[in-house]
Homo-oligomer: A and B are copies of this chain.
């Protein structure tokens, strides 16, 4: 790991469990951390505050960067940005197998979100001289989201090699996906081992200070902590 000393990595940070665990992995790998947060008009605005707190925790608030991409807000089409579309509760995604889940793209899909995030992160990484970009996609995400699949990530790396000066010069920026093959329980186990500040994160699609405990995202998170044998440190507002 020592060979990453003085090397820089851009971490796409949402303030959720997965991306915050990526901060832990990148730190453990010895990188200087450059967290990059996107404000894409998501309803769960609390993510922005959480991501800032995570950057503070890791001592890199001076390098914390938020990029506003709220043009999707007024266009809509996703439950994550469009207030007219309800966030689904209990769709049972946590019980689906991958094949089942792949057949349905959730309403929480934001068009080509990770593609935008990675393209912007590429430009930022090249500008600051970073060699790697961390993104917290994992097996559960690509149940349904086309831009989380491993073949998508691999193809973006090919584009990055062609799109950048460093790529053309033979030192392309890499995309690191340390969570890609992990279950939520594995992610929690690794994160707890690395001291990731889960108390500062939020995963709830509804974006309130207290997580709902009922949306797909909360259900997956709680299941992950439970299977890992840990207690989720954030408060939940449980109905009935």
Residues of A within 8 A of B (CB): 65, 67-69, 71-72, 75-77, 105, 109-116, 118-120, 122-124, 126-128, 146-147, 149, 151-152, 155-156, 158-160, 162-165, 167-168
Contact = CB atoms under 8 A, between A and B. Distances in A.
Nearest to A120: B116
| Highest count of chain B CB atoms <10 Å: which of A67, A128, A155 | A155
Interface of A is mostly: helix
Nearest to A165: B105
Contact of A76 (B127, B163, B164): B127
Contact of A110 (B118, B123, B168): B123
A42 B68 CA distance: 17
A159 B152 contact: yes
B123 A146 contact: no
A112 B122 contact: yes
Contact of A152 (B110, B147, B162): B162
A110 B119 CA distance: 13
Contact of A115 (B75, B112, B122, B127): B122
